[in-house]
Amino acid sequence: MKTPKWFLKRNIVSWALRPLSCFYYGVSRLVFNIRKRREYVSRRPVICFGNILSGGVGKTPIVRNVAKWFDAPVVMRGYKKSKETGCIGDEATMLSNDGILVHVGDRKSNLILLNKQKSKTPIIMDDGFQNSSIKKDVSVLVFDEHIGFGNGFILPAGPLREPKSAIHRADAIIVIKNKDVAKDFALPTNIPIFYAHNKEICPYDENTSVIAFAGIGYPEKFFRNIRVKLVEKRAYPDHYQYTDSDIKDLIKRAKDKNAKLLTTEKDWVRLPDWAKKDILFSKLNTEIDGNFYDWLKEKISNISK
């Protein structure tokens, strides 16, 4: 689905949904506590990158960087599998295309499988901060400075999966810098905070007329960061599965406006094969401050298994 407008700014709808937020949180805490009783402890260190917001903060590029740095495998759920993504999901396909070993499906089962190997390399867990069935040796939360906490409400009244107080379960926080900082975005001072910087590597120069389209959590982030002559933008629901009709319509509109088509890497892997040669993507490169890796290396070295 598309990210609701009230996720970023409170309105009458968000206030009306507050009772459902209480129900959602109550059920989620019950599930959390039940799973906790059967927590799996991995022999190999598990580094979890998660968030307390419902998607769209830019976590996958960070997972990619850290997995490459450790030459480590990644376990993830593999959301919205399709034939276009080899039935493993768009984010898993992105990581796999970069040569990262990705295990998709039940994360606990995949951890058990990876622990049968002799390797002592850490295992990267993409998402799962709310999954209490697996013990995380290091938990890192990712935030986008522009989105912050959204409207501050819990699902479905807002984007939060759990209250802000859940941040205290994290060992560290990575904040993706932005020139526009969300109002009331204040983080605890007793948890290490590191910063990351996004850069869109666009295949077109700034004078190229472009129709940009994206089916991600917060498509406006993509539209705002690409440096091209944007003649039209199209936002689709997160993880949207493009049809042949969708692509043909986009190609026609681009031809009519004498423009190029541009999308995100995450969207590109979901396109039909026949369309990929005519549509390029802007690759999101996220650079994390170097002292984060120093901190993480020391943190891992202090874990005794």
33: domain CATH number is 3.40.50.300
C-alpha 236/C-alpha 223 separation (Å) is 13
| Average pLDDT of every residue of the chain | 93
Q: What is the pLDDT of residues 108-143, one digit of tens each?
A: 999 999 999 999 999 999 999 999 999 999 999 999
Asked if residue 56 lies in contact with residue 147, where contact means CB atoms within 8 angstroms, the answer is yes
Specify the pLDDT at position 85.
Answer: 46
Same domain, residue pair 257 and 115: no
Quote the number of domains for the chain: 2
> What value does the mean pLDDT take over residues 215-241?
93
Average pLDDT over residues 245-268: 96
Boundaries of domain holding 156: 5-198+287-301
Mark whether 106 and 217 lie in a shared domain: no
Q: Which residue reads 């202090």 in tokens?
A: 302
Q: Quote the pLDDT of residue 88.
A: 61
pLDDT score at 11: 96
Instruction: Kindly state the average pLDDT of the residues 211-227.
Output: 93
28 and 85 housed in the same domain? yes
Q: Which residues contact residue 264 at a Cβ distance below 8 angstroms, ignoring those fewer than 6 apart?
A: 214, 216, 222, 281, 282, 284
| CA–CA distance, 146 with 180 (Å, rounded to integer) | 5
pLDDT in tens, 67-101: 999 999 999 987 655 555 444 688 999 999 999 99
Same domain, 143 and 174: yes
Considering the domain architecture, whether residues 28 and 53 belong to the same structural domain is answered as yes
Least confident of 40-49, 144-153, 157-166, 176-185: 176-185
Residue length of the chain: 305
The answer to whether residues 187 and 214 belong to one domain is no
- For position 56, what pLDDT does the model report? 79
